[in-house]
Amino acid sequence: MNPPKHLYIGGKWYSGEGSERQMINPTNGCVFTEVREASKNQTGDAVRAARYAYNETTWRTDIKKRVNSLNKLADLLEEQTEQFAIAETTNTGKPIRESRLDISDSVSCLRYYANLVSNRKAWIKKMPDGTKSRVIEEPIGVCALIVPWNFPLLLGMWKIAPALAAGNTVVFKPSELTAITAIKFAELVDQCDIPPGVFNLVLGGGTPVGQALVKHPDVDKVSFTGGSDTGRKINEQCASSFKRVSLELGGKSPIIVLEDADIKAAVEWGIFGSFFNQGEVCVASSRLLIHKSIYQSFVEYFLEKLQRINVGNPLDEGTEIGPVISAGHREKIENYIEIGKSEGARLLYGGQRVGEKGYFLSPAVFTEVKQSMRIVQEEIFGPVVTIQTFRDDNEAIELANGTLYGLAAGVLSNDFERAERLASCLKAGTIWINSYHTPYVEAPWGGFKQSGIGRELGPQGLSGYTEVKHINLNNELKPVGWYK
């Protein structure tokens, strides 16, 4: 039997010449399919195909073609929402209703950037000396897009859609743990009459494939979402050649609950913020900061609600928390739970394995925590939340800002002026007041401090894939008049 062809390079399908990788369903720990990953050479082939398509096709100049292609991709993806959602849930363990959201957000992202570039106007201005200045945005060139396993297709689309809309060509590398929806997406690209080499898919891990992309001299931009340690390494590697780079990294985001907040609503937002997608979300509200005066009633209701949460098969419609991504990741989370206990925090609830098969964990809550503890400072990236108290706004701000991260924050209160004042003091890229988690494709997303560099989504997300060029035009060629 011929090996399956899962790499999409220069408009053709290839069988990987790298390692064989089993795709595991985290719900039962069983292999559900296998993929053959790319070799270093094949990764180079993908970059060459992208370079060729960038230089030799009209993709970078033909906006109409790009808009039509992105809209066609959106239509095809929308038609297959359910198949993509089931594949995403099978590969990641996320509850099916969350996978459906991922797919519909991916569709919106494609349509948003198609629409944005079709309405983009050049900036033209008459200058004081009578010349005319035009500022245009050009594509950067070949972009390597590297994403993690927690939102395999959606985080990919936050890069693929703006990069292609801006006229770049791309090499896309999903996480080695979650390749399935990326392969399915490449099948859609194949149906869209997009010039060969504009979109390329390579599969594989950080080495050799991710590394080969980052270090390749013909890659002009690296856009990476993932852990901070990997992000730091990639940033250092790109710095040596001034390669363009954007990084969307980890977080340790707080939700601040003020004393006037409705307790039931606040608890629901707290649970949603902390445990959506098993807490495997870069903006997960893994720290809840509660005003001292409502702490007791908040914690009591939080516990009551948590005990009723449905941890189970993510393909069941009623499931609210699925398994975490892998056995290794569950061990990492459990290790953090042990660290929390040994640091003297109180594990109020959860953190237990659930069921015989798969990588399930009950949602864990720590109280009596100190700001200096590792479970408060470090990204756990699982269903673990810490609850702290504060006396006044100054203390809330100090605690909220008191980590190396700055990705997101939430404020829950009916006192909008006070909530806005707090928002202005929080060092984070996204702040939700009386809400949490929803990314809006029209608005930027990204981190302060060690949570990253650059922004995705919104017009800023498109700018991340363009170089700005200023053309100054003098209508008449006259001597400078500067020299005698």
- Scanning 61-69, 93-101, 172-180, 465-473 for contacts with ligand TXE by CB under 6 A, the matching segment is 172-180
Strands 123-126 and 384-390: unpaired
Q: Are 412 and 431 in contact (CB under 8 A)?
A: no
**H helix or E strand, kind and range, residue 17:** none
Please state whether the peptide bond connecting residue 217 to the residue before it is cis, i.e. omega within 30 degrees of 0. Answer: no
- To the nearest whole angstrom, how small is the minimum distance from the Cβ of residue 229 to ligand TXE? 7
Identify the residue among 95, 208, 226, 340 touching ligand TXE (CB under 6 A).
226
- What amino acid positions are annotated as catalytic residues? 248, 282
Identify the residue among 33, 81, 211, 463 touching ligand TXE (CB under 6 A).
211
Number of residues that bind ligand TXE (CB under 6 A): 25
- To the nearest whole angstrom, how small is the minimum distance from the Cβ of residue 274 to ligand TXE? 15
CA distances from 452 to 11, 210, 221, 429, 461 (A): 33, 18, 15, 10, 14
DSSP for residue 29:
T
Does residue 100 touch ligand TXE according to CB under 6 A? no
Which is closer to ligand TXE, CB of 105 or CB of 248? 248
Q: Are 437 and 272 in contact (CB under 8 A)?
A: yes
- Scanning 28-36, 146-154, 311-319, 455-463 for contacts with ligand TXE by CB under 6 A, the matching segment is 146-154
3-state class (DSSP) for residue 319: coil
Stretch 252-311 residues interacting with ligand TXE (CB under 6 A)? 282
Which is closer to ligand TXE, CB of 194 or CB of 337? 337
- To the nearest whole angstrom, how small is the minimum distance from the Cβ of residue 365 to ligand TXE? 19
Residues 6+ apart with CB under 8 A from 260: 413, 414, 415
CA distances from 321 to 301, 303, 338 (A): 19, 16, 22
Does residue 206 touch ligand TXE according to CB under 6 A? yes
Structure tokens at 191: 């149906």
CA gyration radius, the chain: 24
φ/ψ of 226, rounded to 5, equals 170, -155
Instruction: Count CB-CB contacts under 10 A for residue 348.
Output: 17
- Scanning 58-66, 205-213, 431-439, 455-463 for contacts with ligand TXE by CB under 6 A, the matching segment is 205-213
- Scanning 54-62, 156-164, 186-194, 225-233 for contacts with ligand TXE by CB under 6 A, the matching segment is 225-233
Burial of 228 (0-12, 13-18, 19+ CB in 10 A): buried
Which is closer to ligand TXE, CB of 213 or CB of 299? 213
Does residue 230 touch ligand TXE according to CB under 6 A? yes
Identify the residue among 205, 377, 427, 463 touching ligand TXE (CB under 6 A).
205
Residues that bind ligand TXE (CB under 6 A): 146-150, 173, 175-176, 205-206, 210-211, 214, 225-227, 230, 233-234, 248-250, 282, 379, 381
